[in-house]
Structure 1
Amino acid sequence: MPDDREQLIRNLFAAYLANDKQRVSDALADDFRFTSPFDADLDKARYFERCWRDTGWIARHEIERIVVAGDEAFVTYHCLARDGRSFRNTEFFTFAADRVRRIEVYFGATFQDGRFVPQPQ
């Protein structure tokens, strides 16, 4: 099962990068919830309304690690934007069978041209 969940996460990142909203939706449970520093416990419909946007600004994701333990996983990735910006985030996934039930995002540092970019407080 851990290999299946790791592959599910990799497929989800690939679908997001391909701007394939349907494939992303299919990977999420009907009772999916999403939380980030800007979003509190969004349901699936609200997640797509608030968080989905064209992913053409992303050059690539570099998945640094995926750690699966039972029905949970942590993913740390480096996202590189086409304009030279980049950032690292960690996400905590919870699964329900073969779908993602919950994602909690923890934002990391932002960089531009290899230098740290302070974020407004």
Structure 2
Amino acid sequence: MPDDNERVIRDLFAAYLANDRQRVSDALADKFRFTSPFDDDLDKAAYFERCWKDTGWIARHEIERIFVRGDEAFVTYHCLARDGRSFRNTEFFALKAGKVRRIEVYFGAAFRDGRFEPQPR
């Protein structure tokens, strides 16, 4: 099961990178919930309305680590935008029966030239 859940997560990241909204939607459970520092417990429809933008701005994701324990996982990744901006986030995933039921995003620091950028105070 952990290998299957890791595959689901990697496939989801690939769907985002391909800007394939249908594939992303198919990976999410009907009762999917999404939380980030800007969004509190959005359902699937609200997630797509508020958060889904054209992901063509993403040049690549570098998944640094995935820790899977049963139907839960943490993923840390570095995202590089086509304009050179980059950031690093960690996300918590809850999965069931091959679908993503919940994602909680913890925003990380911006990167520049391989180094963290100080955050404004």
What TM-score comes out, normalization by structure 1 length?
A: 0.94
Q: What do residues 3-46 of structure 1 show as CA deviations (whole Å, max 9, x unaligned)?
A: 01000000000001101000000000000000000000000000
Structure 1 residue runs of 5 or longer lacking an equivalent are: none
Please name the residue that 1:12 is paired with: 12
Please name the residue that 1:56 is paired with: 56
CA distance in 2 between counterparts of 1:40 and 1:120 reads 23
CA distance in 2 between counterparts of 1:22 and 1:120 reads 36
Q: Does 1:102 find its partner at 2:120?
A: no
* Structure 1 residue 98: Cα displacement: 0.9
Q: Which moved more, 1:110-119 or 1:77-86?
A: 110-119
| 2:80 counterpart letter in structure 1 | L
How many percent identity over aligned positions?
83
Please name the residue that 1:91 is paired with: 91
Q: What do residues 77-117 of structure 1 show as CA deviations (whole Å, max 9, x unaligned)?
A: 00001111111100000012110000000000012344544
| 2:55 counterpart letter in structure 1 | T
CA distance in 1 between counterparts of 2:29 and 2:115 reads 38
The size of the alignment, in residue pairs, is: 121
| 1:37 counterpart letter in structure 2 | P
* Structure 1 residue 118: Cα displacement: 3.9
| 1:65 counterpart letter in structure 2 | R
| 2:46 counterpart letter in structure 1 | R
CA distance in 1 between counterparts of 2:74 and 2:11 reads 15
Please name the residue that 1:24 is paired with: 24
Q: Structure 1 residue runs of 4+, over 6 Å off?
A: none
Please name the residue that 1:47 is paired with: 47
Structure 2 residue runs of 5 or longer lacking an equivalent are: none
